[in-house]
Amino acid sequence: MKDRLTLGLIILVLFLVGIWAFKSSLEKLGPGIASRTWPSIPGHVTNHKIEAYEVTNHGDSGGTYTRYRPAVNYNFRVYNHTYYGTRVRIGEPGFKTKAGASRLLQKVTDKSQCQVFYDPHDPNNCTLVKGVDVMTLVESGLALLGGLLALTAGGFLILVFIPKVIWKKLRHTDSDITTAPS
């Protein structure tokens, strides 16, 4: 009985991990992939700088380290309405050096001008770089792979485990019938 419960919990955990991995990777990839087809329009940069932020390493070494990201405030006009944006790139994880963040900032802004890519159904959903950055693509690909492996393992265990339980119950029921007093 204890073995069945343990196996049932393993199957449940594998399925939940698989579903979570698929969902989280699609939430990251979806907007980035969709942005590749968004129209663009000239925008006006109202403020830009390089921000430093601390990241905690939860691995073996622990500690924190500094990452850098371009911070840009911009506006643009679509459908006779002014929209405001701050996103530079969908899924941007940050840069190890200030120079890396500065290069991206220089690439997407020309002093006070920028090119804004916006979702035609919701212009508030906008970015200065369309598509998905490589790191988000790699992370999402690994999450999809992990989710597929977890779902496959869970499915395999269901296919192996459930028939055995049913067969055991059927054999047990058959033996009860044959040993019944006459």
pLDDT value at 175 more than 60: no
125-161: pLDDT as tens digits:
999 998 887 777 787 777 777 777 777 777 776 677 6
| Cα gap 157→151, rounded to integer Å | 10
Domain count, the chain: 2
DSSP 93: -
103-120: pLDDT as tens digits:
888 888 877 899 999 999
Residues 94, 162: one domain? Answer: no
Share of the chain above pLDDT 70, in %: 80
Residues 53, 124: one domain? Answer: yes
Residues 84, 155: one domain? Answer: no
Mean pLDDT throughout 40-67?
86
70-104: pLDDT as tens digits:
999 999 999 899 999 999 988 776 888 999 899 88
Q: How much is the pLDDT for 9?
A: 76
Q: How much is the pLDDT for 56?
A: 83
Residues 43, 86: one domain? Answer: yes
**DSSP H helices in the chain:** 2-34, 98-108, 134-178
Residues 147, 110: one domain? Answer: no
Question: Would you say residue 87 lies in a domain?
Answer: yes
